[in-house]
Amino acid sequence: MTAGGPRVALINVSDGGVPKRPVARAAVGLLGVAGDRQANTESHGGPERALCLYSLERIEALRAEGHPIGPGDAGENVTVAGLDWDGVVPGARLRLGADVRIEITRYTTPCHKIAASFADGDSARISQQRHPGWSRVYARVLAGGELASGDPVEPLPADDD
């Protein structure tokens, strides 16, 4: 666990594609982070894939394995720290900061665009099918608001409406 509890480590955006670069704060709406754009809207974005989240601890473990990955390199909008990543599964709900509430909709499918983040070029290292627990996740935004790096992350009950 991170000192002080789970938190937003980074908010990442791009004008399309990867890597996504950190911003200190951003507005989050029903379609994702303001200032972020997806180059391929058939595979990314939309209400059910408004946010992509990943664990800072998983990124650090991948780096320890020799992969040149960093926050935002795999296309995540929100990098979280100190959160039990094994509990971040479809149907789980989280509060990010004071106002943003999300529901995890599914695991992401890694694509060739993030291959440079892996020593062997095999982005399937973060495939849920091949390596359970190592995937990024997509989420729908249930309630938007302002989000900043360092904001707390809180798991919510599944029936939190």
Domain residue limits, the chain:
7-151
* Reported pTM: 0.91
The predicted pLDDT at position 111 comes to 85
The β-bridge relationship of strands 145-148 and 78-81 is unpaired
Please state which architecture CATH assigns to domain 7-151: Beta Barrel (2.40)
The β-bridge relationship of strands 78-81 and 93-96 is unpaired
Q: Which residues contact 84 (CB under 8 A, 6 or more apart)?
A: 155
Distance CA 1, CA 15 (A): 32
DSSP secondary structure, 20-84, as one string: -EEESEEEEETTEETT---S-TTTS-SGGGSEEEEEHHHHHHHHHTT----TTTT--SEEEESS-
The predicted pLDDT at position 1 comes to 47
Q: Could you read off the pLDDT of 107-149 as tens digits, one per residue?
A: 999 988 899 999 999 999 999 999 999 999 999 999 999 999 9
Q: Could you read off the pLDDT of 54-103 as tens digits, one per residue?
A: 999 999 999 999 999 999 999 999 999 999 999 999 999 999 999 999 99
